Amino acid sequence: MKKILALVFILVLSVSSICSAFEQPDPDRWFWIGSDDKIGFWLDGQTMEFEKELSGRITRVWVLTYTTKDDNSSKSLWEYNLDKRKLRILSEVIYNSSGDVIYTRETSSLWTSVIPGTWGETIMKFMDSAYDFQKSKKMKIND
């Protein structure tokens, strides 16, 4: 019986180490925004951009995504028009589980509507709050 339990324990450790092969990103740069059992999202706190344009409040942020199904990750530059609830992805790099690049693309894709109840909306809401925080921070410096 002890041998069976030891074998099961070793098997569980092997499987769990395979399933958690994704290396957590640097917490000084990337912060976790949310996840479920299929996908996880981190935002790059060092490269967030905030602009006011004629078309509305614009933000850009690099998003790190990990998907369990494919065991791969991606880094994508997401641009939001906060006032119009629009999103477009400007650049994307996809990595396999070993960290090798398997796909890249640069695009000036068209704006798409942010779908309610999605991770895209969750990140948009965070960026909206970050935009307001950044604006209030600048106002205090100018006072």
Displacement of CA 118 from its chain's centroid (Å) = 13
Residue 45 CB burial class (10 angstroms; 0-12, 13-18, ≥19): middle
Question: Confidence band (pLDDT; 50, 70, 90) for 80?
Answer: very high
pLDDT tens profile 42-76:
999 999 999 998 889 999 999 999 999 999 999 99
Question: Confidence band (pLDDT; 50, 70, 90) for 27?
Answer: confident
Q: Do 102 and 72 contact (CB within 8 A), yes or no?
A: yes
Residue 23: predicted pLDDT: 76
pTM of the predicted protein model: 0.77
Q: Which H/E stretch holds residue 57?
A: strand 56-67
Is the pLDDT confidence value at 10 over 70? Answer: no
1 secondary structure, DSSP code? -
* CA distance linking residue 79 with residue 49, whole number of Å: 9
Residue 14: predicted pLDDT: 38
Sign of CA dihedral 66, 41, 94, 67: positive
Q: What is the mean pLDDT of residues 21-48?
A: 89
* CA distance linking residue 101 with residue 98, whole number of Å: 9
Q: Find residue 34's DSSP bridge partners.
A: 41
Q: Helices in the chain by DSSP H: which ranges?
A: 2-19, 119-142
Number of Cβ within 10 Å of residue 10's Cβ equals 10
